[in-house]
């Protein structure tokens, strides 16, 4: 690989390369050599930006967790519009059709990475923990609008939706579930809490 070629946004190029490997080949294929080869750069580029490969992976996970913040804002803004089930179906599909499922597999397969991530996510599994918080916040906003029952336990419903959604999307070999399957799961989980009129 040429070493004198300047890379614009080297960190993002390396992160994008890592995502492609994760989605195509899974966590076990993710090595520093694979990432730099995929990014089309010298191996030293990664080590110029990160102390070691686990530091790179930790930043990759944190950068992808940060994407959930913008998705959370959009989901919260949808409260009171459309249907609760429709909004949740869209949010879960957007979340899990991304690299999120592969990131969860990466985190669970690398002890050193999990240890580093404990600094920013002391409990739970990064990505899933933040996604559950996003769903809980949205459900709380809908509860305030009366579209979710006042006594609904949104802190229990949210991880249930995240766990069920993760299971639907977790098979890397199969095609992702269609919208109908995700919607059916969502309506089943929230059936006892929804207070909006049936369509």
Q: 32 and 73, same structural domain? A: no
pLDDT in tens, 120-173: 777 888 889 999 999 999 999 999 999 999 999 999 999 999 999 999 998 767
Question: What is the per-residue pLDDT for 123?
Answer: 82
Q: 25 and 5, same structural domain? A: yes
Question: What is the per-residue pLDDT for 170?
Answer: 86
Question: What is the per-residue pLDDT for 3?
Answer: 45
Mean pLDDT across the chain: 89
Q: 168 and 110, same structural domain? A: yes
For residue 197, pLDDT beyond 70: no
Smallest CA-to-CA distance from 162 within 60, 83, 50, 71 is with 71
Number of domains in the chain: 2
Residue 27 lies in a domain: yes
Residue 81 lies in a domain: yes
Give phi and psi for 194, each to the nearest 5: -75, 135
Q: 7 and 81, same structural domain? A: no
Number of helices (H) and strands (E) in the chain: give both, helices first: 10, 0
Segment 167-192 shows an average pLDDT of 91
pLDDT in tens, 23-62: 889 899 999 999 999 999 988 899 899 999 999 999 999 9
Question: What is the per-residue pLDDT for 4?
Answer: 42
């Amino acid at each position: 690989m040429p070493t004198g070629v300047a890379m614009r946004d080297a960190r993002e190029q390396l992160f994008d390369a890592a995502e492609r490997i994760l989605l195509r080949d899974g966590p076990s294929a993710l090595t520093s050599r694979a990432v730099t080869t995929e990014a089309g750069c010298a191996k030293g580029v990664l080590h110029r930006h990160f102390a070691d490969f686990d530091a790179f992976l930790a930043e990759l996970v944190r950068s992808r967790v940060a994407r959930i913040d913008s998705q959370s804002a959009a989901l919260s803004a949808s409260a009171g519009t459309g249907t609760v089930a429709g909004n949740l179906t869209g949010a879960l599909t957007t979340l899990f059709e991304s690299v999120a499922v592969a990131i969860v597999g990466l985190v669970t397969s690398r002890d050193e990475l999990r240890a580093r991530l404990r600094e920013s996510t002391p409990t739970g599994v990064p990505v899933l923990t933040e996604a559950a918080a996003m769903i809980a916040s949205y459900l709380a906003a809908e509860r305030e609008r009366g579209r979710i029952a006042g006594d609904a336990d949104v802190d229990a419903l949210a991880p249930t939706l995240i766990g069920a959604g993760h299971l639907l999307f977790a098979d890397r070999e199969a095609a992702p579930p269609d919208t109908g399957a995700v919607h059916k799961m969502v309506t089943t989980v929230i059936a006892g809490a929804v207070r909006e009129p049936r369509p």
